Structure 1
């Protein structure tokens, strides 16, 4: 995409944005007034001519359509990177797009494979979008782990960066450790850094090899996101997998065919779109390294006990549950249709299409195509379809990429230039015209 066309996507005038929002505000008020007038007028007419059944039926249908517009039974889910933002930059057309939906009381959920606190992401989105986004409207890579209660009381190793420990505790994990703490307990593990070799030699020379006698074996590994020092994390996590969570007890053979301790991971994105021209490595790249190393050392495949984040269906389910809770709080009907807007065919579109497959299943229990667990509580699940909309402002660039027509999971329901065009498409399908008018 050349700079001129890219600028046209990223930059939009504030006047144009305000006009989009004002149109929806006026439109919503117009519908309310119209419904009120029609009810009063027709009430008098049908008192005089109660036999006019055909006209009555037509009028009733018209009122139902108007009420549908005031009480939407659909929800919109959005990826963030490549849809709302592009690296450090904000995609300006996102502001009128999201404000349009908020004005119409459409449940809006942001589904991102970022790993951070939902409250922090909500603040960021609120600042750039000019509306209040609540933490409950944000489903991040790790968010569905809140449902994995069987592991919340186990002693787990958390891999990630930044506030990973705080995030893990917010999820519900009560006893956590980190790669850094394991290295402190076993100073001989991290030897890629040559300075560590020097420090270890000095320790052995002066006091011998010292381990932390109070080290508690790790029961499970939770991979929240890519760490800063990949080489250290890869070494320590592999060590824990090969030693059943306790590096003090080394098996006689590394290729023994037995199950390793549970591994829970989120965010399989191999790459993501940032400010650089080419996509950047994501957590999926780190997982690929870990899987390859474990396979080469043990002879066995790395097995994940649970996988959350896009494209896994549990993240879409969790987002739907949040959307229905919003609808319930607003006195609106349950969500029947979901529209997912994303920029990555391999993640966003594949995930949305797999979720649509689950929604179309008529037998119970529903089967996950990914092979990983789904939500056990279906109280707030009501949708029957999920459309996937691919935008051209992120990973997918129509000038550089072609949609894999041979893989139906990567085929979007619709392709839009940007998020504003995507929202207009949704509103048009739900009974609105392309410019937001009813």
Structure 2
């Protein structure tokens, strides 16, 4: 640090009169520090940052990708801010961060990490309602939702254990459900709706494991009256009503945490993700209702809201790294490094920052996308892996004066 400060210190002295220099000496080191530390910090603050996908960029299944640790360690040494932006989930942010730290041997904190379902925490209007949380292993997503502030969280496993006849083909999974199932706040009793289980919102937090049970419960609720499980709305199929009567009877809102059709696992071929379940359910709904419109909300990459949330995290990270010094200068550019053209690259290309920053998309070859196939959404640049992506981006930003 002393070597890098020396030229700036000399310039600071040269710009002051002898009287000013004597005053600085008289007032002691603290004023010296304030005098030139500000100039140094302002001149070195990078006006760019990074957002990284995780699966297929930093790790593949549970195995770190070559160069990932080196790339992140370099950015940390240089105090170049970055955030991790993944469509994965199913665990708490704290658990996922601990797991990544062990794999990558890089310090990561929850304030620089965003999963696809992280923004669900902001839906406070449902915190005191009863919600159905779908997907993930065992009751992990239920616990994540409770950590976000949702007080009454029900899982398909809870419902099946209390009412096993709701989906007879789930019997092979019954021993698994029984290990984590919790009592329902109310039983299914359609004869007395006021006392029956009512679901106010459905959240697909992570890729469903038991597609049959999960799809049937969601379908039941979207066809119900006021979200009361076990009922059927009398408005369904009424051609005198909008949408032929479907979704006209206060059914619960349906939220998906991401639209990814594919993801890169340890298997050599890509595997279906949550987007696969979403497409399957849409087809089921279309068949059952004769083509009625299905209303749902999808977040995660490539949506505008998710990238906005990620930029907020990145700007907060930049502020914590550099304090207040020089932060009147905007964050000019963000490099999005991803492996999936339809989520990572599309999201970066289409995002419009409310702060005016420019997002540059970098596609790497270590995940979903395979060389030889034209990307469905064209990246600004293609590199072999995350390390090459970071090296190119830092060099390009500094060449253009972004630091």
* TMscore range, shorter length: 0.7 to 0.9
Match of 1:129 in 2: 104
Backbone CA RMSD of aligned residues:
2.8
Match of 1:372 in 2: none
Shift in Å, 1:99: 1.1
Match of 1:119 in 2: 94
Q: Deviations over 1:360-379 (max 9, x none)?
A: xxxxxxxxxxxxxxxxxxxx
Which runs of 5 or more residues in structure 1 are unaligned?
A: 1-27, 48-62, 197-209, 360-380, 405-409
Matches of 1:69 and 1:78, distance apart in 2: 26
**2:378 corresponds to 1:352:** no
Match of 1:85 in 2: 59
Q: Deviations over 1:278-319 (max 9, x none)?
A: 101111111111111112112313211x32211111111111
2:220 to 239, 248, 256: 239
Q: Which runs of 4+ in 1 moved over 4 A?
A: 41-45, 63-69, 193-196, 210-214
3-state SS, counterpart of residue 166 of structure 2: coil
Which runs of 5 or more residues in structure 2 are unaligned?
A: 21-36, 174-186, 239-244
3-state SS, counterpart of residue 425 of structure 1: helix
Counterparts of 1:290-301 in structure 2 under 5 Å?
A: 290-299=281-290, 300-301=292-293
Match of 2:145 in 1: 168
Q: Do the aligned residues in 1 keep the contact of 2:338 with 2:344 (CA within 8 Å)? A: yes
Counterparts of 1:31-42 in structure 2 under 5 Å?
A: 31-41=4-14
Match of 1:58 in 2: none
Q: Return closer, same or farther for 1:280/1:351 CA change in 2, 3 Å cut-off.
A: same
Q: Do the aligned residues in 2 keep the contact of 1:151 with 1:173 (CA within 8 Å)? A: yes
Q: Do the aligned residues in 2 keep the contact of 1:254 with 1:297 (CA within 8 Å)? A: no
**2:378 corresponds to 1:411:** yes
3-state SS, counterpart of residue 430 of structure 1: helix
Q: Do the aligned residues in 2 keep the contact of 1:338 with 1:383 (CA within 8 Å)? A: no
Matches of 2:10 and 2:101, distance apart in 1: 36
Q: Do the aligned residues in 2 keep the contact of 1:154 with 1:174 (CA within 8 Å)? A: yes
Matches of 1:125 and 1:392, distance apart in 2: 21
Shift in Å, 1:66: 7.0
Q: State the TM-score, normalized to the length of structure 2.
A: 0.79
Q: Do the aligned residues in 1 keep the contact of 2:337 with 2:363 (CA within 8 Å)? A: yes
Q: Return closer, same or farther for 1:320/1:176 CA change in 2, 3 Å cut-off.
A: same
Q: Do the aligned residues in 2 keep the contact of 1:291 with 1:301 (CA within 8 Å)? A: no
Q: Return closer, same or farther for 1:310/1:130 CA change in 2, 3 Å cut-off.
A: same
Q: Do the aligned residues in 2 keep the contact of 1:187 with 1:211 (CA within 8 Å)? A: no
Matches of 1:218 and 1:112, distance apart in 2: 28
Q: Deviations over 1:220-243 (max 9, x none)?
A: 111111222111111111111111
3-state SS, counterpart of residue 389 of structure 1: strand
Q: State the TM-score, normalized to the length of structure 1.
A: 0.73
